[in-house]
Amino acid sequence: MTGALLADIGGTNARFALAASDPSAPALLPDSVQVYAVADFPSLADAARHYLDKVGAAPSHGVFAVAGRVDGDEARITNHPWVISAERTRIALGLTRIDLVNDFAAQAMAVSLLGVGDVVPIGGVRWHGWNDSGDRTYAIIGPGTGLGVGALLRRDGRFYPLQTEGGHVSFAPNNPEEIDVLKRLSGEFGRVSNERLISGSGLVNLHRALSQIAGEDPGPLQPQDITAMAREGDVRCLRAIDVFCAVFGAAAGDLVLTLGAWDGVFLPGGLVPKLMPWLAHSGFRQRFEHKGRFSPTMARVPTLAVTHPQPGLLGAAALAAQCALKAAA
C-alpha cells in the first residue's frame, strides 16, 4: 500500500514518487521515483496519470509541490505554461484529496529529514544536524530553472515551512562590473530580479551581458553549454560562473539577514550540483559574509549545498506525513 502520490513540478521537470503508508518505513519510496519533461505533457494531470499507470499505483491522497505561487485552488508554473487547479486535477486522477504547495515549501520541509551526510558545507562552518530540540530558523534558496526561496522554522518541536516568491526580489549590484551587468539586463528586461541572474537562464543572461560588455556576441547558448566550456577553460564562461556564485552568495546572505536565519542556509536546486566544482572556490562565501557590521555574525552561519537526490519529493513526503497525522487526530 502507498500513502500518497508525491510530485515536485519545476519549469523543466516533473518528478513523481510514492510515500510509504507504514510510519516505520522511510517516508519516500526511492524506487518509485520517476522524472519526466514537463514539455512532454499538456497538463499536470496527464503527467501524473502517465506515472500512476506506469507504476500501477492507486493512492487516494496527493501532495504536489509546484514552482509557482499557490493561490487558493490554483497555481501557475512561473517558467512553464501549465496552470494547475487542485480540484480539477483531483477529479482527473480520482483522488480524495490534493494538497497544492509551493515547491520551496517542500524543499524547506525536506530539511527536517536531512542528515549531515545529505549536505556539503560551502566554507568552513559545519552543520551538526538535528542534535537538539531547540527552536531553529533556516533559510532555503536554490537555483534551477528559476530561483526558489523559502524557510523552515522549528518551534516547540513542530516544523513550519514558509512559502515565498523571494527569487523575484530586486537584484542589488555590489561592484562596478555588476552595475554594468544590471544596466545591460535592465535594458532587456526593465526590472531585474535575482532570478534574472541566479538560475539556469540567469547564467545565460550573465554570460551574454559580460560578453556584450567586452564587445562580443556570444550567440545562443544553454546553461549546460556555459558549464561545459568553463570546464574546458573558456575565460568568459568561467567569469560568468564566478559572478553567478558571488551574486548567489550575496542573495543567500541577504536572506539570512531578512529572516534572522542564524542557524543556517540550505542550498538545493538543480544547478547547485552542476556548479559544485566552482562553488566552494568562488566568491560565494566571501559575499555571503560581507554584510558590514553583521559580517562577524554571518561568519558563524553555515551554508549547506544539498546533495540528497530528490529533496523536493522528500519534503512532499514530510508534508504528506503531516497531513496523515492531522487526519488521524
| pLDDT given for residue 10 in this prediction | 87
Q: Phi first, then psi: what are they for 219, rounded to 5°?
A: 75, 175
Residue 22 labeled ligand binder: no
CA distance 98 to 127: 34
Domains in the chain, CATH or no CATH each: 4-114+308-328 (3.30.420.40), 166-306 (3.40.367.20)
Task: Please report, in tens digits, the pLDDT of each residue of the chain (329 residues total).
Answer: 457 999 999 888 999 999 987 655 668 898 999 999 999 999 999 999 999 999 999 999 999 999 888 888 898 887 778 889 999 999 999 999 999 998 899 999 999 999 999 999 999 999 999 988 899 999 999 999 899 999 999 999 999 999 888 999 999 999 999 999 999 999 999 999 999 999 999 999 999 999 999 999 999 999 999 999 999 999 999 999 999 999 999 999 999 999 999 999 999 999 999 999 999 999 999 999 999 999 999 999 999 999 999 999 999 999 988 877 666 65
Residue 279 pLDDT: 94
| pLDDT for residue 3 | 78
| 145 DSSP 8-state letter | S
Q: How far, in Å, CA of 225 to CA of 251, rounded?
A: 25
pLDDT at position 1 is 44
Residue 56 assigned to a binding site: no
pLDDT score for 163: 84
User: From CA 127, how far away is CA 116, in angstroms rounded?
Assistant: 7
The annotation status of 11 as a binding-site residue, yes or no, is yes
Q: Across the strands, what pairs with 71?
A: 74
Name the phi and psi angles at 287, rounded to 5: -75, -30
Phi, psi dihedrals of residue 328, rounded to the nearest 5°: -80, -20
Which triple of cell numbers denotes residue 185?
Answer: 539586463
Contact 257, 294 (CB under 8 A): yes
pLDDT at 324: 72
141 is in an annotated binding site: no
Position 25 scores a pLDDT of 66
CA-based Rg of the chain, rounded to a whole angstrom?
A: 20
